[in-house]
Amino acid sequence: MLRSVSGERIAEEVLKIFSHTNLSSTLKEMQKLNVLKQLFPSIEDNVGISQFGYHSEDVFDHLLKCVDKMDNIEEFIKIYLTDYSKQIFSHLNKLIQGDYKKFTFLKLAAFLHDIGKSETKVVDNNGRIKFYNHQNVGAEKIENICKNLRLSNKAKNYLVKMVEKHMRIPNLLSLEKITDRATYRLIREAGDELLDLILLC
């Protein structure tokens, strides 16, 4: 259905969609119309992929929930981070591609950050579900998605970084002792996107 449409035109429509609120409802409709799997190959492979621990939903529903949280995060910032809201919104309103802001791409990253889980799921000897290296598998998939959508290098690099690094903060917080060295390493790796990774958590 989309083969006759240029990648640039498709990308424009995708970015318009991710620029608006009530995004998860739109994505569900796109799934029903078999559009999602054409735009984001393997994303629907995560339907029915169960998780362990605090994630009660499957991977796909978890991704939709992350999108919902992103929809509400602006209000959260205004209410709970009032003193820093100006700086935060200034950061999120930076343009990444054309007229599309960083926040649009952060929402796209939120939807795609666990796209690699379907290929990396294993169950350990204790019956716990693990997704070893899913962030790197996901980052490779993002490279291909960005290429197919003809996204700019700046947009591609941002999305790949968000997916590849999204476990860095949770992994740091899971340490028995958080050292200065580990913290500085995270800050160095995150660079200008430290805030973005925090919001993605």
pLDDT in tens, 90-124: 999 999 999 999 999 999 999 999 999 999 999 99
Q: Give the domain range for residue 23.
A: 7-165
In a domain, 183, yes or no: no
Full-model pTM: 0.94
Q: How many CB atoms lie within 10 A of CB 7?
A: 14
Residue 55: the pLDDT is 62
**Tokens 């598998």, residue located:** 137
**What's the total number of domains in the chain?**
1
Nearest to 116 by CA among 100, 89, 139, 91: 139
Establish if 195 belongs to a structural domain. Answer: no
In a domain, 188, yes or no: no
pLDDT < 70 positions in the chain:
1-3, 53-55
pLDDT at 1: 58
Q: Would residue 64 count as lying in a domain?
A: yes
113 is written with which tokens? 């950050």
Identify which of 63, 39, 44 has the alpha carbon closest to the alpha carbon of residue 150. 39
- Whether 178 maps to a domain, the answer reads no
- In angstroms, the first-to-last Cα distance of the chain is 35
Q: Residue 189: inside a domain, yes or no?
A: no
The contacts found for 17-20 with CB under 8 angstroms, 24 or more apart, are: 18/104, 18/105, 18/107, 18/108, 18/111, 19/100, 19/101, 19/104
In a domain, 139, yes or no: yes
Residue among 23, 41, 186, 17 nearest 116 (CA)? 41
Q: What's the pLDDT at 105?
A: 98
